[in-house]
Amino acid sequence: MRSQPLFTFLTALFCVVITATGVAEQNRGGKAATAVPELPPVLADVVASRRGHGEGQGVVLAVRDGRLGIRISAEKPLTAAQWDAVAALKPRWLHFNDKSLTDADMDRLVGIDPEEIHLRIIPLTGEGAKRFGDMKQLTTLETHHMKQPTPEAREALENHPALERYRTAGPFCIDALKAPKLKSVEFAELGINVENIETLAKRSTITFLHLFGHNQITIDAPLLAKVADIRSLETLRITKTILPYEGALEHLCRLPQLKNLDLTEVDVSSEDLEKLRKSLPNVEIRHTPMSAEYRGKWDEMVAKRAKAATPQVPR
């Protein structure tokens, strides 16, 4: 599956980027947010991974919201000299892809003490993940295609003193859902399940939830009934699914704090959408229909699921 998460897309739009080849790009306003340092030669030597979405370079420096960050996509672990160079840059946010972060590197990352960490298909285990608890300024933890359990990190994540935003596609670092300051959650793939939603419903701090249903048929009426139990929710974003009003979207009327509802590439009839708007007169509702291309993929997924559930008659 090759998906491009919305958060990564928006980040790219607003960044000032300097690549390993020295090419600079401006943000949408045409002005650099702040000066970006020259890429150290030792980091220019990082060989880019062929896995995942990247700019084609092993290391990219960027500025977002006036904070320097670094994206690393490497086909093998960084050397000690390369980690020294990363630490000297004092990045506030870091993106890691493939072999660029391992358990053995976590002491280095703790020393940097970043505010944001974004992970994609890296070989980190629960032993390494528990070191996130030592990063006292860490407010954002995002994972992409990370589905291995991390029970060793449970205590560190449940008691993290600063974590506010968490994204996951499965059980990796799932105990972050219990972090005391957590307020923003994004679920994709295997992260979308009733158990995780029930965990959030027990919290009083959750104000933002994004359900990203790409290549999944898990955002359904029973799930939305549980979402409606997250009483503190102010913004709900649902992406790529098919939902009727009766028995599904009508559950959202039970959210007392809801202010914004985004239905992105959601197949809902005009009649049901009008019912939803009338039921939620004080909620700003934004809707974009599902593309014909994705609707075709959806129908294929439904057909495969139905075939798998049909008992086979012995010949």
Q: What are the tokens at 155?
A: 């205590």
User: What was the pLDDT predicted at 301?
Assistant: 85
What is the set of domains in the chain, with CATH numbers?
Answer: 6-306 (3.80.10)
Contact 13, 28 (CB under 8 A): yes
**Where residue 28 falls among pLDDT bands split at 50, 70, 90?**
very low
Q: State the sign of the Cα–Cα–Cα–Cα dihedral 291, 296, 297, 303.
A: positive
Instruction: Give the pLDDT score at 2.
Output: 39
Tell me what pLDDT residue 147 has: 85
55, 72, 91, 112 from 37: Cα distances, Å:
18, 16, 11, 17
Provide the pLDDT for residue 20.
Answer: 36
What is the percent of the chain with per-residue pLDDT over 90, rounded to a whole number? 72
Proportion of the chain above pLDDT 70, given as a percent: 87
Q: What is the pTM of this model?
A: 0.85
So what's the pLDDT on residue 14?
35
Q: Where residue 144 falls among pLDDT bands split at 50, 70, 90?
A: confident
Query: Region 36-42: what's the mean pLDDT?
Result: 94
Minimum mean pLDDT range among 51-55, 204-208, 209-213, 252-256: 51-55
> Quick check: 5 pLDDT over 70?
no
Is 119:146 a contact under the CB 8 Å cutoff?
Answer: yes
Average pLDDT along the chain: 87
Evaluate whether 255 touches 232 at the Cβ level (below 8 Å): no
Q: State pLDDT tens for residues 286-315.
A: 999 999 998 888 888 888 878 887 777 666
Contact 185, 200 (CB under 8 A): yes
